[in-house]
Amino acid sequence: MNMKTCKHCNDLFDLDGHLKRAAGGKINECADCVEELGTETAVKYTGTANEESGSFSISRHTSNEARDKYMKDLKNGVDLSR
């Protein structure tokens, strides 16, 4: 475990934990504070490969929710080229 102290709430959190990885934010911010304060500013990207053509595409998303929806639609065979 890689424990850190949050600069906002002074709680200990696991920097390598799945909640922190999902929330993002700075290295000294717990996942709860990142979500509550909205401090995550990184743009979310996904990369996909087309086996038939050998091509690779990178998509930019405005939020985790938009990225998750894109990946869900991709897995369900929804045409994303529109």
Q: What is the pLDDT along the chain (82 residues), one digit of tens a residue?
A: 899 999 999 999 999 999 998 888 999 999 999 999 989 877 778 888 888 888 888 888 887 788 888 889 888 887 766 5
pTM score: 0.55
Q: How far apart are CA 27 and CA 60, in angstroms?
A: 23
Query: What residue spans of 1-82 are helical by DSSP H?
Result: 18-23, 31-37, 64-75
Q: Where along the chain do its domains lie?
A: 3-37, 44-75
